[in-house]
Amino acid sequence: MSENTIPGVDDYDGPAGGWGALGAVARALSGQMAIARESIALHKVNQPQGFDCPGCAWPDPKETSSFEFCENGAKAVSWEATAKRVRPEFFAKNTVADLWNLSDYTLEGLGRITYPMAYDRTSDTYRPIAWEEAFRRIGTALRALPDPDMAEFYTSGRASNEAAFLYQLFVREFGTNNFPDCSNMCHEATSVGLPQSIGVGKGTVVLEDFEHCDAIFCIGHNPGTNHPRMLSTLREASLRGVPIVVLNPLPERGLERFTSPQHPVEMLTGKSTRIASTYYKLKIGGDVAVLKGMMKAVLTADERAVAAGMPRVIDHAFIEAHTSGFEALVEDVANTSWAAIERASGLTRAQVEDAADIYAKAKNVIVCYGMGITQHVHGTENVQQIANLLLLRGNIGRRGAGICPLRGHSNVQGDRTVGITEKPTDALNDGIRATYGFEPPAAHGHDAVAAVIAIREGRSRALVALGGNLAVAMPDTTETFEAMAKLDLAVHIATKLNRSHLILAKESFILPCLGRTELDVQATGPQSVTVEDSMSMVHASAGTLTPASEHLRSEPWIIGGIAKATLPATRVDWDRLVGDYNLIRDDIEKVFPIFRDFNRRVNVPGGFRLPVAASEREWATPDRRARFLVAPGLDEDPPLETGGLMLTTLRSHDQYNTTIYGLNDRYRGVSGRRDVVFMHANDLSARGLKHGDRIDIFATGANVADGKERAVRGFVAVAYDIAEGSVAMYYPEGNALIALESHDRRSGTPAYKSVPVNIEASTVRTAAPARPKAEHAA
Ligand SMILES: Nc1nc2c(c(=O)[nH]1)N[C@H]1C(S)=C(S)[C@@H](COP(=O)(O)OP(=O)(O)OC[C@H]3O[C@@H](n4cnc5c(=O)[nH]c(N)nc54)[C@H](O)[C@@H]3O)O[C@H]1N2
Ligand SMILES: Nc1nc2c(c(=O)[nH]1)N[C@H]1C(S)=C(S)[C@@H](COP(=O)(O)OP(=O)(O)OC[C@H]3O[C@@H](n4cnc5c(=O)[nH]c(N)nc54)[C@H](O)[C@@H]3O)O[C@H]1N2
Ligand SMILES: [Mo]
C-alpha cells in the first residue's frame, strides 16, 4: 500500500475467524439485541428443535451436531431479534421525505416494524392501518387491474417453503406467472445453465462429499463473509492435505487462512489453517478463459498419454457411456489459442497448466462457485464451462466429486422448488389443476429484469413483495427508482424498513411479518416451517422467540389474507391451510410428488434430501446424456475501451445484501466507510491518481448504449492487491452504473460483476442516490 493514509483504510494482517470474529459478534449482540432474547436465540440456531439460520444456505454438518459458531450467522440472527422498534409514533413524526434522507444503514437500523402501515398522502407519512382494512384495499386495487399480468409478485429468498407455496398458489389463481425473484439476480445462470448440461439446476454434492474429495476449486465466491460455516469444511479438507485452488480477482482473507473459533488450540496459540493451496488472481470475467485453458491442458495431456500408451487422463468410459457433444468441445478448445487465454484471464499459460495438473491428478474433484461466475453477460456459459471441465473426468455423480453452486438466501432454492417461477412446467400446472380445480396460467411471466422494465413502461401497475428490497437490489438505481414511483399499488411484506418502502405508489402498504426466529402460533397451535439448503436438504425450522410485536403476523397468514380479499370465488380453503402448516405440506406433496411423505420425513432430525438425478448419473436432458456445451469465444464481455477498467460489485463483511449491519469490512482492512473503490497501483498511476484520491466512476460500453450517462461520484480510490485492470466496489453503491439491459442473455441475471468503466479524478463529493420524481408523494 502507498504512503498516503486514508481514515478507515488499513491492511488487515490476521486470519479469517479467530478473536476478531468473536469480538465482532459481541459488538453485534450488544448493539442490537436484548440480552434475554440473545441467550435463547443463538443456542437455537440450526439445532434440530430450533430455527434455521436466516444467514446463508450452507448445510449443517451432521444430524445432531452442536451449534456451529458463525460470526455472520450471529449478525443475521441478532439483526432480526433486535430490541429496537420502529413504531407508528415514529412514522407519525417523520415524513417519508425525511426518511428518504436517512442512509440504508440507518433505515434498517431503526429496528423491527411493529404495525401494518399505509401511506397517507396529505401528511406524507405512513399511518397505522388495521389488517382487514389493508387487505380490503389491496384486494380492491388488484381486482381493479384490467389484466392480472399487470401485477408483479416479487419473492426474496428468505421465505419458507410454506409461505412461498401459498404465495405462488394465490398468484396463479389470481391469473399471472409474473414471479420476479431474487434468484433472478443471483443463481439464475445456474438454474438455466445446469439443466441444459446435466439435467438439473441444482448442485450435485452433499456435505459428506467434501470428506472424500481430492481437490477443491473455489471460483468467484467469498465464503469468509458469505458462507462462513463453509470455512470449517474447507479447513478440514486442508488439514487432510487436499489442494484448494482459488480463482478470484481479489485476495479474500477467508480463502487464504482461517482460525477456527471452534478449536481452542488454534484460538489460544494464534495459529491459523491455510485454506487455498494456490490462489490465482485472474482478471474479472476471465473465468471462461481459465476453464477453457484447463480443458486444453487436460486434453493435451490425454493425447500424449494415448500416444505413449499410458492410462488416459480423461474418463473416456464415462464420456462414451454418459455424455454427448464431446467432439465439438475438443474442437472449440483446440481452436482457442494460449495467447488468447492469457490475454483474457490475466494468468500465464504455466499457471493455467498448473491448475489443470492439480485437477487431472485428483481422483475426485468438487468445484464450488458463486456470484463471480453467474453475474456476467455470459453467466450461463460460465456455469456450463465448469460442468464441461468436471465431465471430462467423470467428476459428477460420484462420491467425493461434483458441482457445488453456493446459493444465496437461506431458502432461495426451496422457493424455486415449490413453484416460484415465471416459467411453470406442465407438471406444475397439472399438479395445481388436479389439487385445486382451477386453471393456472400457462403463458410465461416476468423475471426480475422484465418486471422492472414492464413497470418502467407502464405495462405493470402493481407490485407485491414478499420480503426483500427490490428497488435497491436491482441494477440502474435511478431508472429503477423512477419506475417504482409510477406504480398504482405497492405492497411490502417485511420485517424492517428499507428504501423500497419509501418509493411511493398511488397506494403503498408495509405489512410487518414474523421473522424466522419467532414463535408462530396459528389456530392449531405453534407451527414450524421448512427450508431447503444449497445441497437440496429439506428440514424444519421453528421460531422460539416472542414476536417483536403482538401485531405481527406470519407470512402464510398475510398471504391468506390478501388472497381472500382479492379472490372472492377462490377454490382454496385459505383459513384451513393457514391454521395448520402440516396441511400446506400435504398440499406441497400433492403438487410436487418429490416431497413424498413430507410431514413424516421432515420430522426426522436433519430432514431429508430431495432427489437430484444427476447425483445418480441420471441425466434429465433431451438426449438423456450429460452434455458438453460449447461457448464460442473467450471474452465474457464486450472488450474494454482503451484505458477502460472492468468493475465488479461485491459484499462487505458487514452486510447482508442491501442490509448494512455496519460500515466495516474487516478482512479487507476497511472500517467506518463504504465509499471505496479497490484498484491496482498501476491502474492508479496510469491515471495520475494515488491512494486516497477522490474519484468519479463512469459506465461505458453496454451500460451506456442507450445514450444515458451512468456514473457514481466522490468515491475514494484504495490501492489494493487486486488483478490489474480490474476494480471493485460495494453493492448497492455501484448499482447506478449498470443498465437494466446489461444482463446474461440467456438467464437474465444482471451483469453486476462485469461493468466496463472509466475512472477519473472526482469533481464532486456526494454519493447518495437521488429520490425519484415522487409522483404519488405529498
Ligand atoms: N453475510 C452475508 N452472507 C450472505 C450474503 C450477504 O450479503 N452477507 N448474501 C447471500 C446471497 S443472496 C448470496 S447470492 C451469496 C453471495 O456470496 P458470494 O458469491 O461470495 O458473493 P459476492 O460478495 O458477490 O462475491 C463474490 C466473489 O466473487 C469474486 N469475483 C468478482 N468478480 C469475479 C469474476 O469475474 N471472476 C471470479 N472468479 N471471481 C469474481 C469477488 O472478488 C468475491 O470474492 O451470499 C449469501 N450469504
Ligand atoms: N450490484 C449488485 N447488486 C446485487 C448483487 C450483487 O452482487 N451486486 N447481488 C444480487 C443478489 S445475489 C441478490 S439475492 C439480491 C438481493 O435482493 P433482496 O433479496 O431483495 O434483498 P435483501 O437485501 O436480502 O432484502 C432485505 C429486506 O428483506 C426484508 N426481510 C428480512 N427478513 C425477512 C423475512 O423473514 N420476511 C420478510 N417478508 N422480509 C424480510 C427486510 O425488510 C429487509 O430490509 O440483490 C442482488 N443485487
Ligand atoms: Mo443472492
Neighbours of 321 (CB within 10 A): 11
The predicted structure's pLDDT at residue 91: 98
d(CA 558, CA 160): 13
Mutate to test the pocket of ligand 1, among 651, 661, 752 (most ligand atoms within 8 A of CB): 651
415 lines ligand 2 (CB under 6 A): no
**Ligand 1 lined by 750 (C-beta under 6 Å):** no
DSSP E strand stretches across 40-164 = 85-86, 112-113, 117-120, 125-128, 151-155
Q: Whose CA is nearest to atom 33 of ligand 1?
A: 372
Of 221, 278, 635, 647, the residue with max ligand 1 atoms within 8 A of its CB, to mutate for a pocket test, comes to 221
Q: Is residue 26's pLDDT more than 80?
A: no
To which H or E segment does residue 18 belong? helix 18-32
Task: Assess contact for 597 and 56: CB atoms under 8 A.
Answer: no
Probe ligand 1: pick from 255, 371, 385, 389, max atoms within 8 Å of CB?
A: 371
Q: Judge if the beta carbon of residue 185 lies within 6 A of ligand 2.
A: yes
Report pLDDT for 1. 42
Residue 667 and residue 757: Cα distance in Å, rounded?
A: 26
Higher pLDDT, residue 77 or 494: 494
- With the most atoms of ligand 1 within 8 angstroms of its CB, the residue from 53, 181, 248, 654 to mutate is 248
Helix (H) or strand (E) holding 507: strand 507-512
How far, in Å, is the centroid of ligand 3 from the Cα of 155? 12
> Does 114 contact ligand 2 (Cβ within 6 A)?
no
Query: Which residue lies with its CA nearest to atom 44 of ligand 1?
Result: 222
Share of the chain above pLDDT 70, in %: 93
CATH T-level topology, domain 85-186+411-610: Rossmann fold (3.40.50)
Q: Which H, E and C letters describe 186-233, residue by residue?
A: CCHHHHHHHHHHHCCCCCCCCHHHHHCCCEEEEECCCHHHHCCCHHHH
267 pLDDT tier (thresholds 50, 70, 90): confident
Helix (H, G, I), strand (E, B) or coil at 609: strand
- Per residue in 290-318, pLDDT tens? 999 999 999 999 999 999 999 999 999 99
8 Å CB contact between 464 and 174: no
pLDDT of residue 32: 56
CA–CA separation, 285 vs 496, rounded Å? 35
Instruction: Write down the H helix ranges in 541-655.
Output: 555-566, 574-579, 581-591, 598-602
Determine the atom of ligand 1 nearest the C-alpha atom of 225: 1
Q: Verify whether ligand 2 is closer than 6 Å to residue 499 (CB atom).
A: no
pLDDT at 761 over 90: yes
494: β partners: 512
Q: 509 C-alpha to center of ligand 2: Å?
A: 18
Residue 734 Cβ < 6 Å to ligand 1: no
- 405 CA to centre of ligand 3 in angstroms: 11
As a whole number of angstroms, the distance between CA 239 and CA 275 comes to 9
User: Residue 363 Cα, ligand 3 centroid: separation in angstroms?
Assistant: 31
Closest of 562, 542, 469, 746 to residue 173, by C-alpha: 562
The residue written with cell numbers 384486494 in the block is: 139
Task: Work out the pLDDT band at 774, boundaries 50, 70, 90.
Answer: low
Identify which of 179, 250, 469 to mutate to test ligand 2's pocket (most ligand atoms within 8 A of the CB): 469
**Residue 110 near ligand 2, beta carbon < 6 Å:** no
Q: State the Rg of the chain over Cα.
A: 25
Indicate which residue's Cα is closest to atom 27 of ligand 2.
468
Note the pLDDT of residue 29.
Answer: 61
Q: Is the CB of 56 under 6 A from ligand 1?
A: yes
Other beta carbons within 10 angstroms of residue 659's beta carbon come to: 20
pLDDT at position 542 over 80: yes
- Confidence at 605, pLDDT banded by 50, 70, 90: confident
Contact between 573 and 511 under an 8 Å Cβ cutoff? The reply is no
Whether 281 is in the pocket of ligand 1, judged by its Cβ within 6 Å, is no
- Asked if 386 and 373 count as a contact pair (C-beta separation under 8 A), the reply is yes
Whole-model pTM? Answer: 0.95
Beta pairing, strands 507-512 & 117-120: antiparallel
CB-based contact 119:371 (threshold 8 Å): no
Residue 42 has pLDDT above 60, yes or no: no
User: For 337, what's the count of Cα atoms within 13 Å in the CB-facing half-sphere?
Assistant: 3
**pLDDT over threshold 80, residue 443:** yes
Q: Cα(first)–Cα(last) distance of the chain, in Å?
A: 49
Cβ-in-10-Å burial (0-12, 13-18, 19+) of 692 comes to middle
CB of 752 sitting under 6 A from ligand 2:
yes
| 304/267 Cα distance (integer angstroms) | 48
Task: Report CA(42)–ligand 3 centroid distance (Å).
Answer: 24
pLDDT of 721 above 80? yes
Between the CA of residue 287 and those of 15, 79, 291, 636, what are the distances in Å?
26, 35, 6, 8
Identify the band that residue 20 occupies on the pLDDT scale cut at 50, 70 and 90: confident
Would you say the CB of residue 72 lies under 6 angstroms from ligand 1? Answer: yes
Provide, for the chain, the percentages of residues in helix, strand and coil under a 3-state DSSP scheme, each rounded to the nearest 5.
40, 20, 45
Residue 64: pLDDT band with limits 50, 70, 90: very low
Is 511's C-beta closer than 6 angstroms to any atom of ligand 2? no
Question: Given pLDDT bands bounded at 50, 70 and 90, which one contains residue 69?
Answer: low
From the CA of 524, how far away is ligand 3's center (Å)? Answer: 34
What's the CA-to-centroid distance between 201 and ligand 2, angstroms? 21
CA pair distance 683, 693, nearest whole angstrom: 13
**Residue 547's pLDDT band (cuts 50, 70, 90):** very high
Which of 48-52, 376-380, 735-739 comes out lowest in average pLDDT?
48-52
Q: Is the CB of 468 under 6 A from ligand 2?
A: yes
Ligand 2 pocket, mutate which of 409, 495, 648, 737 (most atoms under 8 A from CB)? 495
Residue 151 burial (C-beta neighbours within 10 Å; 0-12, 13-18, 19+): buried
d(CA 598, CA 321): 35
Flag the least confident range among 265-269, 333-337, 595-599, 724-728: 265-269
For residue 158, give the amino acid letter: R
Q: How far apart are CA 595 and CA 578, in angstroms?
A: 19
Q: Give distance in angstroms: CA of 646 to centre of ligand 1.
A: 17
Separate counts of helices (H) and strands (E) for the chain = 30, 31
Per-residue confidence (pLDDT) for residue 34, from 0 to 100? 47
CA distances (Å), 206 to each of 54, 159, 202, 403, in order? 20, 23, 11, 10
What is the average pLDDT score of the chain? 93
Residue 667 has pLDDT above 60, yes or no: yes
The single-letter DSSP state of residue 708 is -
Quick one: average pLDDT of 213-221? 98
Rounded to an integer, the average pLDDT of 208-233 is: 96
CB 689 within 8 A of CB 730: no
CB-neighbour burial class of residue 198 (10 A; exposed 0-12, middle 13-18, buried 19+)? buried
Measured between alpha carbons, how far is 200 from 203 in angstroms, rounded to an integer? 8
Mean pLDDT of 357-368: 98
35 pLDDT above the threshold of 50: no
108's grid cell: 434498517
Question: Is the predicted pLDDT of residue 580 greater than 90, yes or no?
Answer: yes
Amino acid identity at 117:
M
Q: Which residue is associated with the grid cell 493514509? A: 5
Proximal ligand: closest to the CA of 226: 1
CB of 159 closer than 8 Å to CB of 554 = no
Q: What torsion do the CA atoms of 454, 457, 461, 465 make, to the nearest 10 degrees?
A: 40
The number of the ligand 1 atom at minimal distance from the alpha carbon of 56 is 47
Atom 47 in ligand 1: residue holding the nearest Cα: 226
Higher-pLDDT residue of 403 and 77 is 403
Q: Is the CB of 225 under 6 A from ligand 1?
A: yes
Whether the CB-CB separation of 223 and 255 falls below 8 Å is answered with yes
Indicate if the pLDDT at residue 28 is higher than 80.
Answer: no
Q: Residue 80 carries which side chain, given as an amino acid letter? A: E
The answer to whether residues 204 and 403 touch, using CB atoms and an 8 Å cutoff, is yes
Ligand closest to 409 (CA) is: 1
pLDDT digits (tens, 9 = 90+) for 83-114: 999 999 999 999 999 999 999 999 999 999 99
Residue 36 has pLDDT above 60, yes or no: no
Which amino acid is residue 431, in one-letter code?
G
Q: Is the CB of 731 under 6 A from ligand 2?
A: yes
Task: Give the residue, by CA position, lying nearest to ligand 1 atom 7.
Answer: 656
> Dihedral (C-alpha) 720, 723, 727, 728: value to the nearest 10 degrees?
-70
Q: From the CA of 688, how far away is ligand 3's center (Å)? A: 36
What's the one-letter identity of residue 522? Q
